[in-house]
Amino acid sequence: MRPTPGGWVDLINKVARDAGATVGMAFTSAEQGHRRFSRPGLPDEPVLSELFDRMRGYFAAHGTLGRLGEPGSERGLARLCWILAAFQYAYRNDSIEHPLFRVFRDDVPSVEELHRSADDEAIADPLALVHRLNTSGALQQMRRLVGDPPVGTPWGTTGPVIFDQWDDSTFVLDGPGSATLLDVVALVKADDSHSRGRRRIWKLLACAWLDTADTFRIRTVSVYFARHGELVTWPVASLSELVLEDRDPQEARNEFVGLATCLRGKDRARRAAWRAGRDQ
């Protein structure tokens, strides 16, 4: 399931649901109703269900929205976030050598074994980044962007669905009158790649442009350099003029959205043809 402003995107199709699949079992095929790593009745599933139940309980007890916890609580949250990030990594990469998935090789691991895979060494860097976020003042800057809401109030949407696609690397910070699209960068050197930086800026601007229905009300974009504790923010209008130089921003946006719409149509047609061939 993926959150959207109008509800939820269900990533599990009817075949998987009829086979008894859970939310974590979203990859299906016409032949078996599943793929090798997402099998109804797999012995790992009860362990994973218990793991996620415990995670939800811990987040509810110690992950108060809009506030950092005590050091012990933050260490616990860092372990859980590391585990969640590992599952996200497995979605897009070969996970066989990832520390978390090594414990699945010989037998079904226990919840405790899965939790121990996020050892002190694994969470040292995330904890350091959280400390820098707090001490640098960047967290307070973000709080101001969302209108300084009371503790416990959600700040926005992670991985927003824009133009039919979700973007796992950005956040929408909802302010009282508009929103900020935030990208978090963990590069060791901010000047590692000039071209990479340009692509990042263009990507933020493109996402703002592609929200053609103004669903998220994006008026500013930000890049947070996590290792430096620096938050850089631009109004979308000003950034458009800056990167486009003498070209008309509205004309450029219209051209870009038109191209993206054309590519989306071709992609939908390709997917429809693939599904039709698969189901024959």
- Please give the chain's pLDDT, 280 residues, in tens: 344 444 444 444 444 444 443 333 333 333 334 334 444 555 778 888 899 999 999 999 999 998 888 889 999 999 999 999 888 877 777 666 778 877 877 788 889 999 999 999 999 999 999 999 999 999 999 999 999 999 999 999 988 888 877 777 799 999 999 999 999 998 776 665 567 778 889 999 999 999 999 999 999 999 999 999 999 999 999 999 999 988 999 999 999 999 999 999 998 899 889 888 877 6
Q: How many CB atoms lie within 10 A of CB 4?
A: 14
The β-bridge relationship of strands 170-174 and 156-158 is antiparallel
d(CA 152, CA 177): 20
Answer whether 153's CB lies under 8 Å from 66's CB. yes
- Cα(83)–Cα(116) distance, rounded to whole angstroms? 10
**Residue 228: its pLDDT value, please?**
93
Q: pTM of whole model > 0.85?
A: no
Segments of the chain assigned E as strands: 2-4, 7-9, 156-158, 161-162, 165-166, 170-174, 179-185, 218-225, 230-235
Percent helix, percent strand, percent coil in the chain, to nearest 5: 50, 15, 40
Q: Which amino acid does the sequence have at 240?
A: S
How far separated are the first and last CA of the chain, in Å rounded? Answer: 27
Please report the pLDDT score of residue 34 as a whole number.
36
Amino acid 103: pLDDT: 80
pLDDT at position 87? 84
- Beta-sheet pairing, 179-185 with 218-225: parallel
Report pLDDT for 211: 93
